[in-house]
Amino acid sequence: INAEYGTSKLSRILSCARAGAMSMALSSRSLPFLYAIVCLMLLGTALFAARTLSTRLAHPQHIDAVIVCGGGVKADGQVPEWVKQRLDTAMRIPASVRSVILTTSFGTPHRPSPTNRNGYTIIESRAAANYLIHNGVNSSHIVCEDVSLDTIGNAFFARVMHTDVREWKRLHIITSSFHMPRARFIFEKVFSLRPLDRPYRLTFETADDVGLQKDQLVARREREAQSLHALENGPFNRLETMEELHKFVNHDHAAYRALRTFDVDDSRGVDEKVKASY
C-alpha cells in the first residue's frame, strides 16, 4: 500500500467534499450555517488523522527483540530444517527494524543433547546463533537464552534473563506453524503476568513446516493440540504473577524441578514420530 498516495487521494476527495459543503451552505437557505461549519471541522479532523496514519505506515514499527523458539539440534550440531526456517524468517526482517535476534533453548527432555568432538554439550540456542552468524548476522545483534528445555521455559527465561532486564517491550515471536498455537498461548500468558511497569507488545509470525515427514507432522500436531488443551485447563492458565510462575517452573514443572533425575528416560511414552520433531 502506498500510504502517501492514498493520503493524497483522500485529501482531494475531502477537499471536494469541503467545497460541496460550503456550496450547500451558501446556496440552500434550509441548511443552517452552523451545520456547514461543523462539517468542515469534521473533515479537517479526518484529514489530519489520515496524514498521521500515513506517517506511521511509512515508518515500520521498531522491534526490540525477535524471539525464535527452540526446535531441536541434530547430532552433528546443525539445526534441523524447520528451525532453519524459523531463523531464515527472522533474518528476513530488516536489520533497521529489529534490534536483536534472541535464540532460545538448552535442549529438550525428549532426547539427550548431542556433544561435540571434545565431549562438550551442543547447546541448541548456540547452534541457532551459529547458523545466524554463518548467514551474515552480526554476533552483536544476537543474544542467547540457553537454559530452557521447553516452550514455557523459552518464554519464562527469555523474560527474566533478557527482556525485563533490558526493557525490551516490543517482541516478535517466530516459530513453526505446527507449534504456533501453543507457543502463542504460552508467550501471551507469560508476558502478561505482573509486575509490569508497562505492557509488552507481542506480535507473532509462523515459519513453514519443512523437514518432517507427513506422518511425523500429523503426530506432532496432534500432540501440540493435546498439550495446548492441558495448558488451557491446568494450573498454568491460573497464574497471575511472575512469582507464581517461578514457583510453578521450579516446583511443579517436571523438566525443571529439583527432584528431576537424569538417569530416567524423559522421552518414555512419546511417540517416535513425535520425537523426530524435537
Ramachandran area for residue 144 (φ above 0: left; ψ -120 to 50: alpha; else beta): beta
CA distances from 33 to 19, 42, 191, 213, 236 (A): 14, 15, 53, 72, 62
* 74-101 mean pLDDT: 96
Convert 197-244 into a string of H (helix), E (strand) and C (coil). Answer: CCCCEEEEEEECCCCCCHHHHHHHHHHHHHHHHHHHCCHHHHCCEHHH
The single-letter code of the amino acid at 205 is E
Residue of 57 and 167 predicted with greater confidence: 167
Q: What gap in Å lies between CA 16 and CA 34, rounded to an integer?
A: 19
Give tens-digit pLDDT for 8-17: 444 444 454 4
Banded pLDDT at 260 (limits 50, 70, 90): low
The H or E element spanning position 148 is none
Supply the DSSP symbol for 150: S
Residue 151 scores a pLDDT above 80: yes
CA distances from 12 to 9, 15, 52, 142 (A): 5, 5, 16, 47
pLDDT reported for residue 111: 87
